[in-house]
Amino acid sequence: LGLDEPVVNRLICLFRQPASQEIAEKLRLSPGSDVWFMQRLRLVGDIPFVFEQSWMVTHPFEDLSEADLNRSKYAYVSRKGFTVERSEKEIRAELPSQNVRDMLGINRDEPVLHATSIAFLREDIPFEISEIYYNQQHYRFTLTAARP
């Protein structure tokens, strides 16, 4: 793949649903509160690199749209006047479900990198939980650890 290939977000679904107990706890909501549920693919050219499932608070993001998610979710959040301060991620290798394999175009049992992420606005307010699957055939992470 060339680096000149366009990176595209492709929304698969977006709808409101009641938050499960687990999602509500992580987002500091009451169980059953409305949250956005979305699934997106990130492609480079026509190649799927990332499959993402996210749950996002609906307030103050009631007007979130398909167009916003086909561009940049965080640019939308910024346009609404909020700053994404940080995210906490846990990353592990695992064998994906058939659905994840289908989304990433993986034809056999091979591991993917799976990140669980909680994103926070300023003042430590969680607003989004994501399950992110990276196609290891095309994705590399480079980490640098510095000593104090």
The phi and psi torsions of 123 (rounded to 5 degrees) equal 65, 25
- Residue identified by tokens 């994840």 is 100
Do you find a cis peptide bond into 60, omega within 30 degrees of 0?
yes
- List the chain pLDDT tens, one digit each, 148 residues: 455 778 889 999 999 999 999 999 999 999 999 999 999 999 988 889 999 999 999 999 999 999 999 888 999 999 999 999 999 999 999 999 999 999 999 987 888 999 999 999 999 999 999 999 998 777 666 777 777 7
| 34-44 β-sheet, strand order | 7-18, 34-44, 47-57, 125-134, 112-121, 84-94
